[in-house]
Structure 1
Amino acid sequence: MHILAAGDHFVRPELIRAALSQELSRPGRKSPEFAELTLPWPHEPFGPVGAVAEASGTEDLLIDALSGASVCVTQLAPFTERVFAACPELRFVAVSRGGPVNVDLAAASRHGVAVSFAPGRNAPAAAEFAVGLVLAATRRIATADADLKRGVWRGDLYAYEEGGTELNGAVVGLVGYGAIGRIVARVLLAFGARVLVADPYADPTATAADGVELVELDALLRRSSVVSLHARLTEETRHLLDARRLGLLPHGAVLVNSARGDLLDHTPLPELLRSGRLGAVALDVYDVEPPPADWPLRDAPNVITTPHLAGATKQTAHRAAAITAAEVGRFVRGEPLAHPANPGVLVAGRT
């Protein structure tokens, strides 16, 4: 078996190879042949390649690297119709991210290539980061830091009207209650917050057992002084928080988005911030990444921004490699995949 470890500068090829070697080492079994490819992300931004989104590298680069490979493990390589057509020996692609948006799944299925993904790989990291953004926004941490570095001692932040707010006793709304949202809820509950959840797929019995209250989205927005987004981006959730729904938030509410930029309609935000209707906005994701030079939020008050870093931990990279290596092991043994992206493609034994 020939395997391509198509890593990048985060989920590095050597991490993938080490995880695969550990997973596939069995007495009496011939070791697979490995090839490695290092894609340029994050030193170069990912983007659309062919008909797929959020990819790194080029189709030609990937086609050359896949020569003879029946399996590829990658985070961001662009698996397009052209790539699948040029690589007839390819049978399995394991994508080390929460959603295989860099793979044309319809083309993969047409060419008989099974695809898996790695849900939850960055859940602890993303949850911690979201809570960090909440704290930075509610306690004015980023504002105070920036001002002090330019020589301004913000003693006025102790004035009542400028003071921050505590999570203890606050009502915090989580939009989406998957792996990340559940961890965020546990942390917020430990702070003493009351946690509301809006998620049409959440199990009411499970949310009650977790100590959170499951409500409709509009009700969550009306009641929450802090709202954090954790939903997946679909056509149904695009601009889930539009101008109407943003207008439901209590005066001075804090809004955090570390999930997907297009969950949020950014157009109303500058005016909502200037008017004080929104107390602060903390963003790790954007409708355009990176935001353009004339981005309206650059000069809006009480905005905290980070460059899509929520999942950026060393542990995330190791988990991504381990999850995908386990899927390769299942593929090799002819077992059902744990996280199939195109389950209509059957996995036969490939030993």
Structure 2
Amino acid sequence: MSQKPKVLISDKMDPNAARIFEERGCDVDVITGETPEQLAARVGEYDGLAIRSSTKVTKEILAAADNLKVIGRAGIGVDNVDIPAASAKGVVVMNTPFGNSITTAEHAIALIMALARQIPEANAETQAGEWPKSKFMGVEVTGKTLGLIGSGNIGSIVASRAQGLKMKVVAYDPFLSPERALELGVEKVDLGDLLARADFITLHTPLTEETRNILSRERLEQTKQGVRIVNCARGGLIDEAALKDGLDSGHIAGAALDVFATEPPPADHPLFGTPGFTCTPHLGASTTEAQVNVALQVAEQMADYLVTGGVTNALNVPSLSAEEAPRLKPYIALAEKLGSLVGQLEGPGVKSLTVEVEGAAAELNLKPITAAVLAGMMRTFSDTINMVNAPILAKENGLDVREVRRGKEGNYHTLLRVVAKTPDRTREVAGSLFGEDEMRLVEIAGTRIETDLEGHMIYIVNEDAPGFIGRLGSTLGNAGVNIGNFHLGRRLPDKHQGGDAVLMLSLDQQPDDATVKAICALEGVKKVKSLSF
């Protein structure tokens, strides 16, 4: 008899999760509260690791996980899992993107009502023996405009609940199609319009480089006088210092945070004690129903994968048959990298996408490869995107996706090319495999460059002139940023001095905004983009 898969539940979880693992043919241990060192010493025994938010699955933990095949996160956010390291280790990472959507949406609505009627402040003073009936003058939510930043799983539920309260809902979401907006009953607007019109603003996006400080000081100053702001999504979406200043000035009438940039926040956090400020300790998913739902779902998904090979809600692999998986795996990894590169370079403005395969790649099942490109591109903006739902969301949002096969070999034995079109330009990137699974970017912006897509990188287009590389090196050196690898090419067909040069640099540290601005200011620079893989 074959040995049963062994699963470790390392965070507190509904006890029915362990029962499901056992019923579906797994052995399970529940050991919570361990230090990273203790977990690293233990994790090598297990095929599966079921976690919530407390366990941090770092590169060091994964290095010790010699037998690990799957990590299951009971919840949406997977920022406590080093997904690139897990992928390199061959470990599938799953989440449960729908299990706590209702709970988190209801918490956002509760905070909207708390701000509208100043419930926390009134409660505190009443229980302190006062009767401040005339002190707290609230506002009705009926007839007010709610601005959603993000209209995915949770945002769409908030929209529905707000409409039940007779609020008008406007939404900013790069992936919200006109058809989907009509279905939700919301008005699709740009971010500037939302800031100017919304009486209440709620955020429902993941934390990525594109969304970090999406409510920056500048944008908070663009909001409507007397706005009230709620964040139950991720810390880091709002400039907390600017939020404090807005509350102090009276421009912002109220703010409620369930999440902070640093959790737990320090006891002397500037927002604490600020009039109009309400907070809760990351309670968005904290209901009995949600905790049961996500625990049961993650157990079912992980057990199915370990016992039968079924893949559901995976963030780093497609749905594949056992026969296809080994051959497609390196192509899928390359496709995600190229999609991520396009997403980071072009943002949400891509209107059509063509995935082309040449040579050996033309013999493969192209659907998972295309799904991987889409997932890599769209995951830049949403942490609920995976290879299962990326093609569906692309179709819903009107993204024109095409696939092209070319059996004849070109310059490479096997090649994957991604062509992305925005209203303003066409972006092409291409990659190939060397040996069995060594991935390389081989072309970008009409320039042949052979480089890995790993870690922190920076993409630069500049006028090809003497002295530029020295100035660039000095700028990075002065900022304390070390160059790992340096790849330079001239754009085709004008490969001569005076044309454009393209640089892809691998860096040991991610450059800060000031360093990127300093590079942009160098003579001859046309484009600079900080990248992360």
TM-score range, shorter chain: 0.7 to 0.9
| Aligned residue number for residue 225 of structure 2 | 251
Q: Does residue 58 of structure 1 match 2:61? A: no
- Residue identity opposite 1:340 in structure 2: A
> 4+ residue stretches of structure 1 with deviation over 3 A?
332-336, 344-349
| Aligned residue number for residue 98 of structure 1 | 76
The 1:314–1:130 alpha-carbon spacing in structure 2 relative to 1, beyond 3 Å, is: same
| Aligned residue number for residue 202 of structure 1 | 176
Q: What's the CA shift string for 1:62-89, capped at 9, x where partnerless?
A: 2343343222222243323333332322
Question: How many residue pairs end up in the alignment?
Answer: 319
- Residue identity opposite 1:117 in structure 2: N
| Aligned residue number for residue 120 of structure 1 | 98
Q: In 2, are the aligned partners of 1:4 and 1:37 still within 8 Å (CA)?
A: no
RMSD, matched Cα: 2.1
The 1:345–1:64 alpha-carbon spacing in structure 2 relative to 1, beyond 3 Å, is: farther
The 1:273–1:169 alpha-carbon spacing in structure 2 relative to 1, beyond 3 Å, is: same
Stretch moving more, 337-346 or 308-317: 337-346
Shift of 1:163: 2.4
Q: Does residue 33 of structure 1 match 2:10? A: no
Shift of 1:266: 1.0
Shift of 1:146: 1.1
Alignment of 1:1-351 (within 5 A): 1-9=4-12, 11-12=13-14, 14-22=15-23, 24=24, 31-39=25-33, 57-75=34-52, 76-157=54-135, 163-332=137-306, 334-343=308-317, 348=322
Q: In 2, are the aligned partners of 1:262 and 1:287 still within 8 Å (CA)?
A: yes
Shift of 1:334: 4.1
- Residue identity opposite 1:71 in structure 2: G
In structure 2, what is the Cα distance between the partners aligned to 1:166 and 1:281? 16
- Residue identity opposite 1:164 in structure 2: G
The 1:19–1:202 alpha-carbon spacing in structure 2 relative to 1, beyond 3 Å, is: farther
Shift of 1:131: 0.3
Q: In 2, are the aligned partners of 1:4 and 1:35 still within 8 Å (CA)?
A: yes
Q: What's the CA shift string for 1:284-304, capped at 9, x where partnerless?
A: 111222222322212321111
In structure 2, what is the Cα distance between the partners aligned to 1:257 and 1:82? 32
Q: What's the CA shift string for 1:309-329, capped at 9, x where partnerless?
A: 111111121111122122124
Q: Secondary structure at the match of 1:125?
A: helix
Q: Secondary structure at the match of 1:281?
A: strand
Q: In 2, are the aligned partners of 1:256 and 1:281 still within 8 Å (CA)?
A: yes
Q: In 1, are the aligned partners of 2:44 and 2:66 still within 8 Å (CA)?
A: no
> Which TM-score applies when normalising by structure 1?
0.85
Stretch moving more, 287-296 or 337-346: 337-346
The answer to which structure, 1 or 2, has the higher relative contact order (CA under 8 A, 6+ apart) is 1
Q: In 2, are the aligned partners of 1:19 and 1:321 still within 8 Å (CA)?
A: no
Q: Secondary structure at the match of 1:61?
A: helix
In structure 2, what is the Cα distance between the partners aligned to 1:142 and 1:186? 25
Stretch moving more, 165-174 or 270-279: 270-279
Q: Secondary structure at the match of 2:56?
A: coil
In structure 1, what is the Cα distance between the partners aligned to 2:156 and 2:111? 17
In structure 2, what is the Cα distance between the partners aligned to 1:151 and 1:347? 67
Q: Secondary structure at the match of 1:263?
A: coil
Shift of 1:339: 1.1
Structure 1: gaps of 5 or more residues: 25-30, 40-56
Q: In 1, are the aligned partners of 2:44 and 2:68 still within 8 Å (CA)?
A: no
More strand, by proportion = 2
How many percent identity over aligned positions? 32
Please tell me whether Structure 1 or Structure 2 has the larger radius of gyration of its CA atoms. Answer: 2
Structure 2: gaps of 5 or more residues: 324-533
- Residue identity opposite 1:2 in structure 2: P
Q: In 1, are the aligned partners of 2:145 and 2:197 still within 8 Å (CA)?
A: yes
